[in-house]
Amino acid sequence: MKQEKTFLGQPLGLSTLFSTELWERFSYYGMKAILIYYMYYSVAKGGLGFDKTVALSIMSIYGSMVYLSTVLGGFIADRILGSRKTVFYGGVFIMFGHIFLSLPFGKLALFASIISICIGTGMLKPNISDMVGKLYPDGDNRKDAGFNIFVFGINFGALIAPLIVGTIGLNYNFHVGFSIAAIGMFIALLNYYLVGNKRLGDIGNEPSAPLTDVEKSKIKRNILLGTILFILVLGFMKIIGILNIENFISLLSIIVILTPIAYFMIMLNSKKVNSIERKKVLAYIPLFIAATVFWAIEEQGSVVLALFAADQTNNSILGFNINVSWYQLLNPGFIMLYTPLFAYMWTKLGKKQPSTPKKFAYGMFFAGLSYIFMMIPIGLFGETAKVSPFWLIGSWAIIEIAELLISPIGLSVTTSLAPKSFESQMLGMWFLADAAGQAINSQIVKFYVPGNEMNYFMWIGIVSIVAGIVLLFMLKKIKNNMGNVL
């Protein structure tokens, strides 16, 4: 009998999805490592010349819309195209988004790129993960290890991206850097298209719940009504003279924040949700809010901390110059360093490990401490001094502890607390926590201005720590509503 070919002991299809996601993340995080600088650098330096505050807000709402679009991407795969085609077309959108940035067409190319990458990432990101899960039959004990390998690929792509794209983009030319990101996505697509058919079988070829003709008509009507309403709002803003980029970002922020609120209301009032499931949704709400606060802080690594790296950090050590984009590799770097330690710790503790809400509370403390830590160099040396890069490294080292207390735990508990009739949509809610956090960022980063850095870090740090304390006080109520979920 011929032995089945495997990839590190896993189904061979994992190698295709692993490499596709690795290169997709390489392209995304490579672009993200230099985009903030491209936006606010002067035209003479190859940038677009945006005001720094506006650039910070654009970066935040961009990240928010990327995660909001995952809800749409999941719907397209489940109801229209199937995961296989949705991932491929998503990759095409992403590649063209990077190509737009690689062309010297200024702000128009930037906004075309943002739209294209938001659509593409929303189509690709949730569905490629879904395909990984479908590689394994029920009861296959290789599944957890397979996802660990897959996540390693994500972090490895994010790790090398700033070193390559960041170095070329900042030291040579922004557009060449964005071209490298486009090439990375092209490699992902090529591998996915040429090898996928051989290794993925019929996984994701068809939508799991195709739309009926009645549903198609209803969706078309809702899309039309939503588009008309959005245009009318923009028209009204234009008439009263408040339609500008700052207010447009604020409008998008409101939409993003209202989306999960609407989802929770729908679930809590649905006749398909029984009383036990409703309690679990109520238990999830404070965890969702905590996750939103966490992601608001964590996602500022490529926004506020990127600005701190450029303006307030001494990036020359013993004659060696640190490229400011390289700080972006600290996130995946610490995740890869900490993951085996956390895996060992949870295994060792077994049933003695903290409950999910308690892990969230601890995560909130660490998230807040990462910003309280950033107050120290400003207090010691002043707001105009250039400080050691080790302060930034230390802040990232702290926040990534918080990420491992919240991100993987949150993903797991989301699936466990989901009502039966809202399982897929509940998973989308986890992405919406990140979207909501970054939507909030698009407004609060406006306060990160010269002379206010100390207050900025202090108040955000305090909010996170207080949120952790509130979560601890709610512990008993949350655990009661969670039922048998740990």
- Cα gap 418→309, rounded to integer Å: 40
CA-to-CA dists, residue 122 to 94, 118, 344, 432, angstroms:
10, 6, 33, 12
Q: What span, in angstroms and rounded, lies between the C-alpha atoms of 111 and 471?
A: 39
- Alpha-carbon span 235 to 233, nearest angstrom: 5
Q: Residue 298: is its pLDDT beyond 80?
A: yes
With a CB cutoff of 8 Å and minimum separation 6, the contacts of 164 are 26, 30, 180
Q: Are residues 328 and 416 in the same domain?
A: yes
Do 130 and 205 fall into the same domain?
yes
Q: pLDDT at position 410, please?
A: 82
At residue 486 the predicted structure's pLDDT band, cuts being 50, 70 and 90, is low
pLDDT score recorded for residue 375: 95
| Confidence (pLDDT) at 358 | 92
Whole-number Å distance between alpha carbons of 235 and 254: 17
- Is residue 264, in this structure, part of any structural domain at all? no
Question: Residue written as tokens 């719940």?
Answer: 209
Share of the chain above pLDDT 70, in %: 97
Would 234 be classed as within a structural domain? no
Q: Tell me: do 189 and 92 sit in the same domain.
A: yes
Shared domain check, 188 and 91: yes
Tokens of 408: 């993987």
pLDDT per position as a tens digit, 17-53 = 999 999 999 999 999 999 999 999 988 888 999 999 9
Amino acid at 352: K
Note whether 32 and 159 are same-domain residues. yes
Measured between alpha carbons, how far is 120 from 432 in angstroms, rounded to an integer? 17
Tokens matching residue 322: 């640190």
Q: Which residues pair with 387 in a beta bridge?
A: 313
CATH code, domain carrying 446: 1.20.1250.20
In a shared domain, residues 85 and 187: yes
Angstrom distance (rounded) from CA 191 to CA 470 = 48
Which pair of tokens denotes residue 342?
A: 């956390």
Q: Which residues contact 277 (CB under 8 A, 6 or more apart)?
A: 419, 420
When divided into structural domains, the chain yields a total of 2
Which of 161, 193, 210 is a domain's end point?
Answer: 210
Residues 34/169, Cβ–Cβ less than 8 Å: yes
Last residue of a domain, one of 210, 231, 256: 210
109: Cβ contacts below 8 Å, ≥ 6 apart: 100, 101, 103
- Say if CB 410 and CB 360 are below 8 A apart: yes
Q: Which of 73, 71, 178, 170 is nearest to 128 (CA)?
A: 73
Q: How confident is the model at residue 425 (pLDDT cuts 50, 70, 90)?
A: low
At 11, which helix (H) or strand (E)?
A: strand 10-11
pLDDT at residue 1 is higher than 70: no
Burial of 172 (0-12, 13-18, 19+ CB in 10 A): exposed
Question: Does the pLDDT at position 200 exceed 80?
Answer: yes
| Token output for 293 | 């606060």
Same domain, 180 and 69: yes
Final residue of a structural domain among 186, 210, 234: 210
Residue 2 domain-assigned (yes or no): no
Q: Report the alpha-carbon distance of residue 166 to residue 181 in Å, rounded.
A: 10
pLDDT in tens, 229-255: 989 999 999 999 988 888 888 988 999
Same domain, yes or no: 39 and 172: yes
317 occurs within a structural domain: yes
Burial 228-256 (b: 16+ CB within 10 A, else e): eeeeeeeeeeeeeeeeeebeebbbbbeeb
Task: Note down the domain range covering 291.
Answer: 275-486
Amino acid at 385: A
- Say yes or no: 204 and 279 in one domain: no
The per-residue DSSP string of 30-89 comes to HHHHHHHHHHHS-GGGTS----HHHHHHHHHHHHHHHHHHHHHHHHHIIIII-HHHHHHH
Whether the per-residue pLDDT at 400 is higher than 90: the answer is yes
Residues 186 and 310 in one domain: no
222 domain residue, yes or no: no
Q: Is residue 4 part of a domain?
A: no
DSSP 262-286: HHHHHHHH-TTS-HHHHHHHHHHHH
| β-pair type (316-317, 10-11) | unpaired
Q: Count CB-CB contacts under 10 A for residue 275.
A: 6
Arithmetic mean of pLDDT, 424-448: 86
Q: Which residues contact 86 (CB under 8 A, 6 or more apart)?
A: 73, 76, 77, 80, 123, 124, 127, 204
Instruction: Give domain status of residue 304, yes or no.
Output: yes
Residue 160 shares a structural domain with residue 284: no
Find the DSSP H helices in 103-244. Answer: 106-134, 143-161, 167-171, 174-199, 213-239
Tell whether 254 is covered by a domain: no
Token pair in block for residue 260: 């999960």
Residues in the chain: 486
What percentage of the chain carries pLDDT values higher than 90? 51
The CA angle 180-184-188, to the nearest 5 degrees, is 165
Same domain, 181 and 319: no
211-224 mean pLDDT: 86
Answer for the pair 443, 423: CB distance below 8 angstroms, yes or no. Answer: no
